[in-house]
Structure formats: structure tokens, C-alpha cells
Amino acid sequence: MVDVWFAVATLLAPVFAEYAKIRSKAERQFNFIAAAGIFFLLSIAFASTLFLTYIGYAGVYLFEFVGWLFLLIGALWAVFGGLIR
């Protein structure tokens, strides 16, 4: 399962990119990375003891998979499409 600190770090990546002045080159790509952080937080919410049923486990795996997918797409797209120009 995804740790809370990893989700927060994923949400802070666009903030640090803004400080480094590289977010303007890859705006949509960093939006994908921020969306991955939101999906990771949603995965953590489904992992709470309130949702520990089959629906809760399905939500954890679903949102964690979508979060990793968005992170992979955003990171690769930022490297190859936005920042190398």
C-alpha cells in the first residue's frame, strides 16, 4: 500500500516544479502528477478501518493502480515531451 508521505511528496512535486520555474514548460504533465497524488490519498482513505471490506480492498487497489498509472504517464510525458524541448 502507498504510504501517506509518498502521497504528500507526489502532491508537492508540482509545487517544487513551480519554484524551479519548470512547471510552465510542462503544465499538463505536472497536473497528471498532482492527480496521481490525489488518487494515492483516495487509496489511503479506502484503507482506513471504516472501509475494511471487499469494497474497501477493491477501492484501495483500484485507486492505487490508477495513481501509479497517472504518475508514470505524467513523469514520462514530462521528461520526454515537456522538459527536453
Reply yes or no on whether the pLDDT at 55 is more than 80.
Answer: no
Answer with the residue of higher pLDDT: 84 or 39: 39
Per-residue pLDDT, 11: 94
pLDDT(68) > 70: yes
pLDDT band at 69 (very low <50, low <70, confident <90, very high): very high
- Checking 32-36 for CB contacts under 8 A at 24+ apart, the result is 32/70, 32/71, 32/73, 32/74, 32/77, 33/70, 33/71, 33/74, 33/75, 33/78, 34/10, 35/70, 35/74, 36/10, 36/67, 36/68, 36/69, 36/70, 36/71, 36/74
